[in-house]
Structure 1
C-alpha cells in the first residue's frame, strides 16, 4: 500500500501518484518520453542503467522489472552502468577522462541527465512505497 492514495490521472501506478498534479504528470511524462525516444543510446544501455539504479535507489516497483546483468561485454554499456552505480552510491566519478574517450560531451550530458532523472523517479517511488503489486485504479 502506497503512503498516499492514487489519483485517477495516469496510465501506470507511478503516474497515478504523480497525477495529483496534472502539470507535473504531463511534464514528467514528457521528459521520460524524451529520454526513451532519444536515439543517442541503445535501449539496452538505458535498461542496464535503469536496473542498476533501481537496486541502488531501493524502488521495489522498479526492481521487479529485473536485476542488472552480471556481465556486460559492451564497453559503453559497462561504463554507463559504472557511472550510474557510482552516482547512486554518492561516490566520486574518478574515471572522467576514460568516460570522455568513449562518449562525446553531448552523450555525457544526456547520460548524466538520464541517471539523475531516473534516480528522481525511483526515489519518488521508494519514498511512497510503490510496490510491483500496485495496480492502476
Structure 2
C-alpha cells in the first residue's frame, strides 16, 4: 500500500486499507480470466465502457460480454447500466465499475479502491491494470 498511497496513511489506516485490499483480491481471484480482462478494459477507459465497445475490443459477442458483466456484478466489482435516452443525447448500455459509496458496496465499504488504483497506474510506469487485476500481483501496490 506504500506505493499506492505513499506516506499518507497512519498505521491504523494502513491496516484497514490492507484488510480491504485483501477482500477485494479474494473477490478478484474468483473471476474468470475473461471477466478479469474485461474489468481491466473498463478501468483503462476510466471506469465505464459500452457493451458494444467491450465486445469489439474483446472480439466477442455482446451476449458474452453481458454474461461476464453478470459475473462481475455478482462479485460487486462492476455492473451493467441500461441504455439511457436523455437530452441532449443518449448513453448506450454500458459496463460501470462499482462505486464505493453510491452503490452501498459491501465489498468496498467506502474505500475507492478502483479510483486509487487508476490514479496509481497512471502516475507510475511499471504496473498495469492487467498486472494487478488479472495476474493478482498486489505487491506492485506495496
TM-score bracket for this pair, using the shorter chain length: 0.3 to 0.5
Q: Which has the higher strand share?
A: 2
**Normalization by structure 2: what TM-score?**
0.40
Which of the pair has the greater relative contact order for Cα pairs under 8 Å at 6+ separation? 1
Q: Which has the higher helix share?
A: 1
